[in-house]
Chain A
Amino acid sequence: MSKEKEGLSVDAFEYAAPQNLQDAVALLAEASDEARPLAGGTDLITQMKENRHSPALVVDVKKIPELNVLSYEAGLHIGAAVSCTQIAEFEPVRVHYPALAEACALIGSYQIQNRATLGGNFCNAAPSADAVPPAVSYGATLVIAGPGGRREIPSEDFFVGPGQTVLEKGEVLVEIVLPPPPPHSGAAYLRFIPREEMDIAVAGVGSFVQLSPDTRTCEQARIVLAAVAPTPVRAKEAEAFLAGQSLDDTTIAQAGELASQAASPISDVRGSAAYRIELVKVLTRRTLGKALERAKGEAS
């Protein structure tokens, strides 16, 4: 084992827990060495123990009020430090964004969900992040604050590569905003893991469909794939194919085939590339089916 991988020890660092956003941004922007925000720590602390990250400064963002917002008015606002448990239990999320509630309840165990945040799930930028595909499929926007002020970006443009995002030095993710779901829409997220719990997705698919007012055809679809590319990816060909189609077994199966073409997985200890491609087809079919039911109001 090289030094980078050895044991469970963390390199020395300084810890700060600012009470407001300005201070957090200032601390992060002015740090001379590597500095990192800390939310639930379920990714960062593990990575620090494995010496995959050795920040000299850790800025705990859990005390910042803006990052603890959880409200539903003209859309859903989720502060970046809100825990997955809080999200999954928030009534408006369960009612209007069930796919997000389900994904938040999938992450690790209860112990993990009580710490883990949606902000951390985004910022960690693991291709396998479970809460990202449903959030992206609902059309989420990310609000970012930095030394240069605030900016908003579409959630799907956030990722650059495994563990890499568009965040610049000193920037903090403030909140994730989901638009109100349009009428006759529905979404679902499913992942495949070998066990029933406590596994990282071998593949995951989040699907969102919006139907025509008569619910006969699909007006718009968004399909987001997890763990099958360097970043979460949208299966745009499949989405384009579905627009204007009636959703039946045949079109759904075709969408699955098309979605799998957007996947460019690797083989690793969790599964081979070939298997992941097959899983994308299955999960796309299953999530589209469930999203369709929800859009028609047949399932919760």
Chain B
Amino acid sequence: MKQAIELNVNGEPHAALVDTRETLLDTLRYKLGHMGPKEGCGNGNCGACTVVLNGAVVNACLVFAVEAAGADVTTVEGVAAEGTLHPVQQAFIEHGALQCGFCTPGFIMSAKALLERNPNPSEPEIRLAISGNLCRCTGYDKIVRAIQAASQALSQTA
């Protein structure tokens, strides 16, 4: 069963005809061409599909596209402002916080959301905030350090 929906993705309005069975992740990837969010599990366990939906990080694989009608969505593609990388993205690059990079779009979204609600998180707070994001390559060490560095960079600019 198809329904027409409208939604804003990274500030741009989009319209799509979606199957009710489609997840927001399917629609973002295959209808709207935002391949940044990844499907690692389809079940809310890995966080590779993390996007911001109306201001809150969610697993796009656990939202039906029809539920997102009228919503504002931010994907990893919308994080860098006009070609300038966000401090979280910059820190991930500088601190070697990614290897295969498949998990990275999800981590960037979780890390950015964390720093927005808590600009100076402790190490346990960082680890808790990214516990819904699996990374199999890095052992998390450099991801945690990158988020610490991003937190410092942001507090200096603020």
Contacts and interface: CB of A to CB of B under 8 A. Distances in A.
Touching in the complex, A and B, CB below 8 A?
yes
A81 B131 CA distance: 24
Interface in B50-100: 50, 53, 56-59, 62-64, 66-67, 69
Highest count of chain A CB atoms <10 Å: which of B21, B44, B47: B44
The 4 closest A-B pairs by CB, nearest first: A109-B132, A197-B131, A114-B56, A10-B21
Interface residues of A, number: 30
A109 B57 CA distance: 10
Contacts of B47: 109, 111
B131 A45 contact: no
Interface in B13-27: 19-21, 23
Interface of B: 1, 3, 19-21, 23, 42-45, 47, 50, 53, 56-59, 62-64, 66-67, 69, 110, 113-114, 128-129, 131-133
Contacts of B131: 109, 196-198
Given A111-B44, A197-B131, 11 more contacts: A10-B21, A11-B21, A49-B42, A109-B132, A110-B113, A110-B114, A111-B59, A112-B59, A114-B56, A115-B58, A115-B59
Contacts of A11: 21
A108 B44 CA distance: 9
Q: Decide if the interface of chain A is mainly helix, strand, loop or mixed.
A: loop
Contact of B20 (A13, A41, A85, A114): A13
A45 B62 contact: yes
A198 B44 CA distance: 10
Nearest to A46: B43
7 contacts: A15-B1, A41-B62, A46-B62, A109-B44, A111-B44, A111-B58, A112-B44
